[in-house]
Amino acid sequence: MSDGDARSRISSFATPDGRLAYLDEGSGPPLVLLHAGFADHGMWDAQRAAFASRYRVITPDARGHGESANATRPFRATDDLAALLRHLDLPSAVLAGVSMGGATAVDTALEHPELVRAVVVTGVGTSEPTFEDPWNLAAFAEQQRALAAGDAERWLAVHLRFAAGPHRETADVDPEVLRRLREMTQRTIAKHTAGEPDHRVPVEDTWKRAADITVPVLAIDGALDTSDHLAMSARLVRTVADGRAATVENAGHFPNMERPDTYNSLLGDFLAGLTP
């Protein structure tokens, strides 16, 4: 299914602060796929196609992204996700997320543990990130300079570097992956205005509480991601009660998009091994 076809089938539900959008496909045990920041449900096209024949695959657009409403008041992404799962009357689900989406999955295991059967993260630990890698720090600094100058194209170019990571040039990434990331990011940026308040409310003490997570947690990381992102996911795997790790070679921050066959195989094996 193309992303255009998927958009024509998107559903939504009402919240006290606008409607939140999601795709709901297939049947079987529920699998919720949570996108990265500035992306939307479209980053999971290859996973929806692979898993909807065996699982009920749910791909939300986070608040302020894709087809979901922008925030006009304080909110937590984990509470939005919990509201969706309850709206769909799901007793529990496997949550798989990349970057921001992985952080939301971990937050939900902490804040709404009854809704979570297992967690899969990519390029993230918890929603309290630590950045020390000089490559990361330089990229973030350049983004801030571009933002201050009002240079959206320059900001976007730096954003796309995270797909490549510090060990490659952006030109080394599949052009189709870059095109999709660019389009999703541009759609998200277009939803917002300069100086718009940031209404996100953080979940507190996530690293201190991570040891309380008892459901299985798998980290699937791209081998070419930054050392910071790899270190955070490794820390999470060490901290939780049942942590596991897998690596996708020749991929950066978005292995589900760059190497979908490998990512899907690792995710599929993990899902198959979960206790019914």
**Would you state the pLDDT for residue 7?**
63
Domains and CATH numbers, the chain: 3-131+197-272 (3.40.50.1820), 134-190 (no CATH)
**Would you state the pLDDT for residue 5?**
61
pLDDT, tens digit, 9 for 90 and up, residues 69-117: 999 999 999 999 999 999 999 999 999 999 999 999 999 999 999 999 9
pLDDT, tens digit, 9 for 90 and up, residues 223-238: 999 999 999 999 999 9
Whole-model pTM?
0.96
**Would you state the pLDDT for residue 194?**
82
Cα-based angle 42, 245, 106 (whole degrees, multiple of 5): 60
| Helix/strand/coil (H/E/C) assignment for every residue in the chain | CCHHHHHHCCEEEEECCEEEEEEEECCCCEEEEECCCCCCHHHHHHHHHHHCCCCEEEEECCCCCCCCCCCCCCECHHHHHHHHHHHCCCCCEEEEEECHHHHHHHHHHHHCHHHEEEEEEECCCCCCCCCCCHHHHHHHHHHHHHHHCCCHHHHHHHHHHHHHCCCCCHHHCCHHHHHHHHHHHHHHHHCCCCCCCCCECCCCCHHHHHHHCCCCEEEEEECCCCHHHHHHHHHHHHHCCCEEEEEECCCCCCHHHHCHHHHHHHHHHHHHCCCC
Across the chain, mean pLDDT equals 95
**Would you state the pLDDT for residue 199?**
97
Q: Check pLDDT > 90 for residue 8.
A: no
Cα-based angle 265, 45, 100 (whole degrees, multiple of 5): 85
> Between β-strands 11-15 and 18-25, what pairing exists: parallel, antiparallel or unpaired?
antiparallel
Residue pair 257/229 in contact (Cβ under 8 Å)? The answer is no
pLDDT, tens digit, 9 for 90 and up, residues 153-212: 999 999 999 999 999 999 999 999 999 999 999 999 999 988 899 999 999 999 999 999
